[in-house]
Amino acid sequence: MSTPRLRRHDLIWLDPGVDAGLFAALGQRGLARDWVQQGFPLVVARQSNEHAGKANQVALGFTLPSAPMRTRVMLRADRTAIIRHTRPLPLSETIQHAPAGWRAGLDSLRTLLERTGTEARVYGSLSSEIFTGMRYLDKASDLDLLLECGASTRLRELLAGLEDFSPEVPSIDGEVLSASGWAVAWRELASALRTGAPRQVLAKSDCEARLIAVDEFIQPILLPA
């Protein structure tokens, strides 16, 4: 049986019968055990070059909404402990769970995404709050989106719309994900395309981060003339 591809921001559930503490650092073992035993998902992290070739292990993480600073817990889990795997939630499935003050803005955002042929998935605080029932969002929270773009995406229109949308609630953060598998922060990409000057942007894949030319990144995405 082939090993399923695990991508950054994907959600993973581990077998609660497995001691998840063994996958975490010594000081975080209790936190890891409690999280998994409650049936909460973990997020696939970027796999380091050191471990990228180890098909039997995967880097995962989760965040506890601890005050005044949140606690980030990292694990390197055996793939055999995975019992469920999904992509991040589509935006359409999260709107009903979002703060009431976000609803009008999210309706406008959804219209923009539909018009530009973009699939948006939610990660970060809103996703964590939905899955755990714990409080992650506050007045300063952003909405973190993975903007999946392909040949039918009207990228320039999407980025311009996001920039116009920014003053509304919520503030939109996140990445544009190309069909190549590379992702770039949407604000950085918008700035690069707006200036028109040859430049590089910081791109992330499932196992590395590096500077790449803007043209290389957008090549799989059809840009209208």
Q: Which residues are catalytic?
A: 142, 144
Burial of 110: CB neighbours in 10 Å, binned 0-12, 13-18, 19+ = middle
Q: Is the CB of residue 20 less than 8 Å from the CB of residue 81?
A: yes
Q: Is the CB of residue 110 less than 8 Å from the CB of residue 92?
A: yes
DSSP state of 24: B
Q: Which among 2, 80, 88, 11 has a CA at the least distance from the CA of 44?
A: 11
What length is written for the chain? 225
Give the pairing type, strands 142-148 and 171-177. parallel
